[in-house]
Amino acid sequence: MSKRISYKVEGEVQGVFFRKFAVEQAKAAGVTGFVKNASDGSVTGEAQGSEDSLKQFVQHLHNGPSAAEVHNVSQSDIQTKSGETGFGQH
C-alpha cells in the first residue's frame, strides 16, 4: 500500500547539492515526489511509496550529502497522488 509524506529538512542544506542527493536517493528507494529549496533556508518536498521505501528515503534525508549538516527532519502523512511517475526537483 502506498503512502505519501511531506517533509522538511533543516540545517545547512542549501548550496550543498541536497536536492540532487534527494533525487538520487528517491530513485534508489523507488519513491516518487519532489524536492525544492524553501525561502527559510530549508529543503522541503513530498515523497510517495511503500512504508519501507519511505523509511529508507527519510533515513537518507537525515544523513544528507557529505557537505550538508542536517539539524532536523520533520514529516507528516498527506493524501496520496495518482499518476506520479518520478521524483524531481523544483
Strands 32-37 and 87-89: parallel
Is 4 tagged catalytic? no
DSSP 16: S
Count of CB atoms within 10 A of residue 47's CB?
26
Q: What is the pTM of this model?
A: 0.95
pLDDT in tens, 15-62: 999 999 999 999 999 999 999 999 999 999 999 999 999 999 999 999
Report helix, strand or coil for 6: strand
Distance CA 33, CA 16 (A): 20
Q: Residues 4, 19, 63, 72: which is the catalytic one?
A: 19
Q: Which of 4, 37, 63, 72 is catalytic?
A: 37
* Domains defined along the chain, listed by start: 3-79 (3.30.70.100)
Determine the pLDDT at residue 1. Answer: 78
